[in-house]
Amino acid sequence: MKHSPARDQPACPVCGMESDVSMMPCKLNGSEYFFCSEQCRERFSDHPTLFSAYKKFAQAPLYKQRFLRLKMPLSAQQQADISQLPNDMMGIQRVDLAGQQLSIEYDLLQATLAQIEARLRAMKIPLAEGWRERIKSAWRHEREETELDNLSARKAPCCNQSPRGR
C-alpha cells in the first residue's frame, strides 16, 4: 500500500513546532523523536534528557543576551542577512547591530552560542577573532553546555553521537 494512514505530525521536542518526518528521528529509551530542523536535532542530541523527560522547560525559555564584536562594519547586504536571523534559526528572539557590535537575544534551550556563531560564519559575517574573542567564546560555550547539563537529570548518548559532538 502506497499511502500510510494520515497521522498527526509529532511536535518537535525542542521548539514545539511541527516536525519534519522526512528527517531522521532520534531513538531514545524506546521512543522516537522527530524534529523540525537540524538545529533542533543537534540540541536534542547534545542534551536528550533535558527535552525528553523535562517537557516543562518547553514553556520556560532560558533567554540569553550576548554581544559579539565584528571585525569590520557590515555591508548593507550583510545587515539585511543578519536581520533575517530570527527567521532562519529557532530560538533567536532579537538581533541588533550597533556599529561593530552585534547584540543577540536567544533561548538557550533552542539555540546555543556555538550554533549561532557557526551560522554567522556560514553567512560570512566577519566576527572578530582575536585571542580575547576566542577565549571568551570558548568560555561562553563551556558555560552554556554546563548550564544545560545541570538542567538535565542525566545525559544519554543519542543518534550515535557523543553527548558533546563538537
Which stretches of the chain bind Zn ion, using CB under 5 A? 12, 14-15, 36, 40
Q: Which is nearer to Zn ion, 34 or 144 (CB)?
A: 34
Q: Decide if 36 contacts 24 (C-beta within 8 A).
A: no
Residue 5 CB, shortest distance to Zn ion, in Å, is 25
Residue 51 CB, shortest distance to Zn ion, in Å, is 10
Q: Which is nearer to Zn ion, 10 or 126 (CB)?
A: 10
Mapping DSSP onto H, E and C, the string for 55-115 reads HHHHHCCCEEEEEEEECCCCCHHHHHHHHCHHHHCCCEEEEEEECCEEEEEEECCCCCHHH
Residue 90 CB, shortest distance to Zn ion, in Å, is 5
CB atoms within 10 A of CB 60: 10
* Residue 33 bridge partners (DSSP): 26
Q: Which is nearer to Zn ion, 17 or 53 (CB)?
A: 17
Q: Which is nearer to Zn ion, 36 or 74 (CB)?
A: 36
Residue 44 CB, shortest distance to Zn ion, in Å, is 9
The C-alpha cell at 111 is: 539555540
Q: Which is nearer to Zn ion, 36 or 89 (CB)?
A: 36
Residue 145 CB, shortest distance to Zn ion, in Å, is 19
The C-alpha cell at 47 is: 542534551
| Distance separating alpha carbons of residues 26 and 84, to the nearest angstrom | 29
- Pick from 84, 140, 131, 139: nearest CA to 112: 140
